[in-house]
Structure 1
Amino acid sequence: MINEFIKSKGKAKSFIFLYKYEMYLIIGANGYVGAYTIKNILEKTTENIIAVDKKIDLVNKNDRVLWVQCDITNHEDIVNLNKLVTNKSETVKIIYLAAYHAPDQVLANPKIAWNINITALSDFLNTLDNVQCLFYSSTEMVYAPGNLSTKFNEDALKQPINAYGKNKVLAEALVLGRGYNVVRFPFLIGKSILKEKKHFYDIIVETICGGKTIEMFKDAYKTALDFDTATKVLVDLAERYSHEMPTVLNISGDEVISKYEIGLRIAQKYNCSSDLIVPISMHEDNTIFTAERADCILLDNSCVKKVLELDEIKLQL
C-alpha cells in the first residue's frame, strides 16, 4: 500500500514534500494523543509531518501533513515507510505512539498485544534510517502501586501489576537499547479533536450537560494531564533534543488529583451540578475492569521541568 503511494505521489508537482529536510514522523497518529501531537507540531514549528496509522479514513487534512496508511505489524509496510521517509527527509524526528494499550484488552488478547507492542516495535526500530531522535510513549503503569506520599521518578523500580505494564517495560528496554528516548505519561484526559471519535471527557460532558449522572473513582489518584499540555511538552522535548537529554522522562502534572475531582472540575467548567458526578470506589466496585489496576500511581515530573526550564506543568480542563 505504501509502495503504491510512493509511485502515485512521488512525481506530483503539487505535493508539498518536494525536497529533503528535517521533519516529523508520527507512528499511531490517528489517536487522541496523536491528534494533539500533530496540532502542536503545526502550531509550534514550521516542520512538515508524515502521519502514520492503520486507519486514516477520517483524519483531519492539512497541507503540512502527509497521511500514510501503514500496518506496523506488516514488515513490508515498515520497509516501504522507511523508503518514503528516506526519500523525503535527511533526518526525521519520530514520535512513536502506536500500542495495543487497553489493559483489559491486553489481558484478553496477549498474543495480539505482544505482536503490536513488542514484535512490531522491534521490527520498526531495526528498519528505520536517518533518525535524528525518537520518543517512545510509555505509561505510569510500569510502576507498582504507590501511595499519596510518594512520587515515582524515572529511576524508580519498575514493578507493573498487569500485562500491559509488563509489555511497556519490555518495549522501553527495546527503545533504550537502540539509544532512543522514552516518555512516561500519567492518566490523560481531554476533549477529542478527532472526527467522529469521542473520548471519555466528551462522554462526561454530554452526560452531565444532559442532566444525567456519571460515576467516577474517588480513590484513583493520579498526576493527570490533559492531552494538549502533555503533547506541548512532548513537542518541546523533540524540538530541544540533544544527546545529553535524559533518556527517560516523566511527563505529568504537578497536582495529585482523583478522577472524581477531575469530574467535579469538568462539571464546574460547564456550569453543571456537582451532584451529577457520583463518587465510587475502585475497591468496592471491581466489575468495571478485568485487569488489575493500581489506585494510586504518582509521577515525579521535576526532571522534565528542569530540562525544559518550566516552573509548573498544570492540568488544563
Structure 2
Amino acid sequence: MKKILVTGANGQLGSELNLLSKIYSQFEWIFADRNQVALDNLSILESQLESVNPNIIINCAAYTAVDKAESETELADIINHLAVEVLAHWSSKNNANLIHISTDYVFDGTSSIALNEEALTKPINVYGKTKLAGEEVCLKQNPNAIIIRTSWVYSSFGNNFVKTMSRLMQERDSLNVVNDQIGSPTYAADLAQSIMLIITNSNWKAGIYNFSNEGEISWYEFALAIKEIGGYNCELGGIPSSSYPTPAKRPAYSLLDKSKIKKTYNVSVPDYKQSLKKMMSL
C-alpha cells in the first residue's frame, strides 16, 4: 500500500485532502502538522521524512502570511524555499513522487491576459519571492516533481476571505473591498480533487501546472458573490488598492490559464460561483 504524506495538514488544502482521504482508502495517509514534519526546523526535517518514509508527498505547508513575510523574511524563506529543497532532495533520492503547492504571487501582476505556466515570473513581495525560490529549487533537486500554482484559496476550514467577508457582512452595514486586483478564487476542495486525479493517474508528467476556479473577477466582485449567495444586506463599495495600503504589494492581475492541467489530466474546473455556493451551503 502506497503511503501519502500531507504536510500542512491543518491548513485549508490539508484539511480538504483529509476529508477526501476517506474515499481513497487504497492509500495509507499520514497527515502531518508542524510537530510531525517541521518545515521550519531544517536540522530535523530529513530524519522526520526518513521515519515516515512516504511514497508520495503533497506539500501543502507554506508560510502564507503575505504582509507579515515582509518583516519575517528569514522564516518565510526557510519554510517556502529551504524546506522545499530538503523535501525535493529527499523525494528524489528515495524515488518518491512530490507535489508541491505554489502561488500566483510569483507574478508581478502587469499582464492583461491569463498567465500560463511559461509566463515570466517576477514577484513583487517577499512571500512571492520565497515561493518562487521554492519552485526553482524544487525542480532543480527533483526534476520529476509536480508544482501546482493556485490563487485566492478558500475553504470551510481555516481563515480566508469568504469566511471573513461573511462575518463582516453580518456585523456591519457597509464594507469597502479592493476592486483593482484581478484573478480567480480557488475552492480548496476542488484543488484537492484535482491532486487526487493526478496521483491516481498512471501518467505522471512532471512540471508546473496552474489551478484555480473559472472566472475573471476582482476581490470586490468576489465579495458581491458572497453577499448574493449569503443573502446579506451589507452595502459594498469598490476601492483601489491605493486606498488600502498593506506592507506587501499585491499583483494587480494574476489570472491563471488552466489549459495544461485540463489537457494533461482531464481535470474539470468548476466556475467560481458554483464552488462558492457549494462551500457556503456546508
2:59 & 2:137 partners in 1: Cα distance? 13
- Give aligned pairs, total: 271
Match of 1:199 among 157, 160, 168: 160
Residue 261 of structure 1: SS of its match in structure 2? helix
* Runs of at least 5 residues in structure 1 that lack an aligned partner in the other structure: 1-20, 56-68
> By how many angstroms is 1:271 displaced?
1.4
Q: Which consecutive unaligned segments of at least 5 residues does structure 2 have? A: 277-282
Is the 2:62–2:80 Cα contact (8 Å) retained in structure 1? yes
Indicate if the aligned counterparts of 1:93 and 1:131 stay in contact, CA closer than 8 A: no
Residue 303 of structure 1 deviates from its aligned partner by 0.7
The reply on whether 1:77 has 2:41 as its aligned counterpart is no
Check conservation: 2:177, 2:238, Cα contact below 8 A.
yes
1:282 is matched with 241
Seen in structure 2, the aligned counterparts of structure 1 residues 268 and 167 have a Cα distance that, compared at 3 Å, is same
SS at match of 1:121: helix
Deviation of the 1:75 alpha carbon: 4.1
CA pair 230-151 structure 1, distance change in 2 beyond 3 A: same
Aligned to 2:279: none
Partner SS state of residue 204, structure 1: helix
Is 1:233 equivalent to 2:194 in the alignment? yes
The equivalences for 1:36-115 within 5 A come to 36-44=16-24, 46-54=26-34, 69-75=36-42, 77-86=44-53, 92-115=55-78
Maintained 8 Å contact 1:225/1:314: no
Q: 2:181 and 2:42 mapped to 1: Cα distance?
A: 39
- DSSP 3-state at the match of 1:215: strand
- Is 2:82 the counterpart of 1:119? yes
3-state SS of paired residue (1:160): coil
> 2:152 corresponds to which residue?
187
Check conservation: 2:178, 2:244, Cα contact below 8 A.
no
Q: Which residue of structure 2 lines up, in the alignment, with residue 216 of structure 1?
A: 177
TM-score by length of 1: 0.78
Instruction: Report if the CA contact (8 A) 1:137-1:182 is conserved.
Output: yes
Q: 1:142 to 1:226 in 2, by over 3 A?
A: same
The higher radius of gyration belongs to 1
Which whole-Å CA distance do the structure 1 matches of 2:244 and 2:75 have between them? Answer: 25
SS in 2 for 1:304: helix
Residue identity (%): 23
Q: Which residue of 1 aligns with 2:7?
A: 27
Amino acid at match of 1:250: N
Match of 1:142 among 106, 118, 126: 106
- Which protein has greater RCO, CA pairs closer than 8 Å, 6+ apart? 2
The 4+ residue runs of structure 1 with deviation greater than 4 A are none
Cα RMSD (Å): 2.2
Alpha-carbon separation, structure 1, partners of 2:161 and 2:47 = 35
Deviates more, 1:217-226 or 1:293-302: 217-226
Q: What residue in structure 2 maps to residue 264 of structure 1?
A: 224
Shift in CA distance, 217/75, structure 1 to aligned 2, threshold 3 Å: closer
> Within 5 Å, which residues of 2 pair with 1:7-26?
21-26=1-6
Q: Quick check: 133-142 or 73-82, which moved more?
A: 73-82
1:276 partner letter = E
Range 165-174 or range 111-120, more displaced: 111-120
CA distance in 1, matches of 2:213, 2:130: 24
Any idea what the Cα deviations from partners look like across 1:245-296, whole Å, max 9, x if unmatched?
25110012221011111111111112122x433322213x142x11111121
Residue 126 of structure 1 deviates from its aligned partner by 2.8
Distance 2:206 2:52 in 1: 26
* Offset of residue 306 of structure 1: 0.8
1:254 aligns to what?
214
Q: 1:38 is matched by which residue type in structure 2?
A: N
Q: Distance in 1 between matches of 2:43 and 2:251?
A: 38
CA displacement at 1:240 relative to structure 2: 1.6
Q: Mean Cα displacement is larger for which, 118-127 or 131-140?
A: 118-127
Larger mean Cα displacement after TM superposition, 171-180 or 32-41: 32-41
Partner of 1:297: 254
Aligned residue type for 1:144: D
SS at match of 2:96: strand
Output one character per residue of 1:213-255: Cα deviation in whole Å (capped at 9) or x when no partner.
3332122211222121122112212222534x25110012221
Return closer, same or farther for 1:120/1:137 CA change in 2, 3 Å cut-off: same
Residue 280 of structure 2: aligned partner: none
Deviation, 1:151, is 0.9
Distance 2:164 2:67 in 1: 20
1:220–1:282 contact (8 Å) kept in structure 2: yes
Aligned partner of residue 183 in structure 1, secondary structure: strand
Per-residue deviation, 1:44: 4.7
Structure 1 position 132 matched with structure 2 position 96: yes
* CA deviation after TM superposition for structure 1 residue 37, in Å: 2.1
Native 8 Å contact 1:52 1:70 kept in 2: yes
2: CA distance, partners of 1:267 / 1:35: 25
